[in-house]
Amino acid sequence: MSRSAHPAGPRHADVLTEGHYSAPAADLNVLDEKVWSRTVTRDADGALTVGGIAVARLAEEFGTPAYFLDESDFRARCRAWSEAFGPDADVFYAGKAFLSRAIVRWLKEEGLNLDVCSGGELTTALDAGMPAERIAFHGNNKTAAEIERAVEAGVGRIVLDSFQEIVRVAHIARSHGVRQRVQIRVTVGVEAHTHEFIATAHEDQKFGIALADGQAAEAVRRALGLDSLELIGIHSHIGSQIFDMAGFEVSARRVVQLLAEVRDEHGVELPEIDLGGGLGIAYTSDDDPREPHEIAKALSDIVTRECESAGLRTPRISVEPGRAIVGPTAFTLYEVGTIKPLEGLRTYVSVDGGMSDNIRTALYDAEYSVALVSRTSEAEPMLVRVVGKHCESGDIVVKDAFLPADLAPGDLIAVPATGAYCRSMASNYNHALRPPVVAVRDGEARVIVRRETEEDLLRLDVG
């Protein structure tokens, strides 16, 4: 949920006017490095370049709309996470943020593990050569067929999400003659929002098994009683786009309490805990995300402290960043089609994509930034709303932002930080063709997911 839609009211409500937009940046031509991928800069002509290639060339070669993903930034973020957590912890990239075979190969090369949550994601991971033991399989309603494939492939862990699933996975593992490594996902009663969290006894959501009322302890009892399951630990994931580490503090404390109960009741110290993902990134200049090494230190301090006070050995920690790795590494490039000034309100800028390539604004009231990238401009800032071409008035890409007042049809504009949950949630609404993802690195650009074609649409429509 975005700040402006938060039940607690918008942050800075006192300084924001009605649209909740911040004041325009002093210079609209400056690309804030917080929201753009690392190799983005402006060249001598004022055009944005990524990986050394100017956007005009990218637009010409690959068309618009398109996602451009900064491969060296992606790899650097993978390394930063794995170095921050070190050899005694495991980093799982959450594939649902954005997954393709190229991504899987980069993850493999950079030493990361991978979370999948469907048969399709599992197939992509295995096809691109991710070793099965580095894959974790998630989801609140995995089908029997998906569980079979995961067990047959030999995935490193299946994260059990319900009492039914404990039995289901145990049964399938037994019929394959294997002892499947599993974790149990618990809900710890932490509702984490961007800038705050609420600790409750219960969580009203579909995932996991509640710690409350001894539910999770009962799940552990059942899993430990089944020979075909090897229970390696407890999993908890508290939300998304989180900046406040206090939510993780409560979550880790409650999970460690469960580990202590398990030891007291069964004489077993479960060796692992997984604290999930959900770490925030900068979508606008107002956001201040933490660096991986700060997050790693904070999480490991919390777990170590809680375990010491419970007299437990410190378990191996895993984390599952998705957005924090891929989110900042891509931007969406659009061409401006029409411009409608609404006197006294704002100017509507229509682009050649929209809610089919970025549903987050409509779905979560998410905030984004935008910049004119095919040139610089010295014109005054104008308040704009960037909208798509879909038959839907909620088809908004950027709710409130400033672009130069001399913006014209044919200009290229780009929305940064669209690497996560944009292509992966893209749709064919209005029979839109989903845009390509183009990886850019060291002066070379290559398509890693091609643009959909009208033939693709017709192929599915069997008439």
Ligand X SMILES: *Cc1c(COP(=O)(O)O)cnc(C)c1O
Six token digits for residue 209: 């098994």
Please state the closest distance from residue 307 (CB atom) to ligand X, in A: 22
320 is in an annotated binding site: yes
In the 8-state DSSP scheme, what is residue 24? P
375 annotated to bind ligand? no
Q: Which is nearer to ligand X, 68 or 81 (CB)?
A: 81
Nearer to ligand X, 193 or 323 (CB): 323
Which phi and psi (to 5°) does residue 123 adopt? -60, -45
* Rounded Cα–Cα distance for residues 221 and 425 (Å): 37
Count residues binding ligand X (CB under 6 A). 17
Beta carbon nearer to ligand X, 321 or 388 = 321
Is residue 360 helix, strand or coil?
helix
Task: For residues 448 and 62, give the distance between their C-alpha atoms in angstroms, rounded to a whole number.
Answer: 12
157 binds ligand X (CB under 6 A): no
Q: Is 21 annotated as a binding residue?
A: no
Is 71 marked as binding a ligand? no
From the list 209, 317, 199, the residue with the least C-alpha distance to 256 is 317
Which residues have CB under 8 Å from 270's CB, separation 6+? 220, 231, 232, 233, 234, 259, 262, 315
CA distances from 442 to 72, 73, 122, 178, 266 (A): 8, 11, 30, 45, 55
**If binding is defined by CB under 6 A, does position 277 make contact with ligand X?**
yes
Cβ closest to ligand X, residue 187 vs residue 300: 187
391 is catalytic: yes
- Candidates 276, 315, 388, 436; binder of ligand X (CB under 6 A) is 276
Q: Quick one: which segment of 57-65, 106-114, 320-328, 355-363 binds ligand X (CB under 6 A)?
A: 320-328
Residues 420-439 that bind ligand X (CB under 6 A): 420
Q: Which of 170, 177, 178, 193 is nearest to 278 (CA)?
A: 193
Residues in 94-133 at the binding interface with ligand X, rule: CB under 6 A: 94, 96-97, 115
Of 274, 281, 245, nearest to 258 by C-alpha is 274
**Does residue 149 interact with ligand X by CB under 6 A?**
no
Annotated catalytic residue, options 78, 117, 391, 422: 391
Rounded least distance, CB 414 to ligand X, Å: 22
Residue 323, annotated ligand binder? yes
CB 59 within 8 A of CB 436: no
Q: Does 321 engage in binding with ligand X (CB under 6 A)?
A: yes
The number of angstroms, rounded, from the C-alpha of 346 to the middle of its chain's C-alpha atoms is 31
Looking at beta carbons only, is 73 or 411 nearer to ligand X?
73
Nearer to ligand X, 96 or 181 (CB): 96
Site track for ligand X across 224-263, x = CB under 6 A:
-------------x--x-----------------------
- How far, CA to CA in Å, does 325 sit from each of 91, 178, 311, 322, 352? 11, 33, 34, 6, 27
Is there binding between residue 318 and ligand X (CB under 6 A)? no
Interface with ligand X (CB under 6 A), residue from 34, 42, 134, 138? 138
Cα–Cα–Cα angle for 454, 458, 461, rounded to 5 degrees: 145
**Minimum distance from residue 376 beta carbon to ligand X (Å):** 33
Q: Which residues bind ligand X (CB under 6 A)?
A: 94, 96-97, 115, 138, 237, 240, 276-279, 320-324, 420
Binding positions for pyridoxal 5'-phosphate are 278, 320-323, 421
Active-site amino acid positions = 391
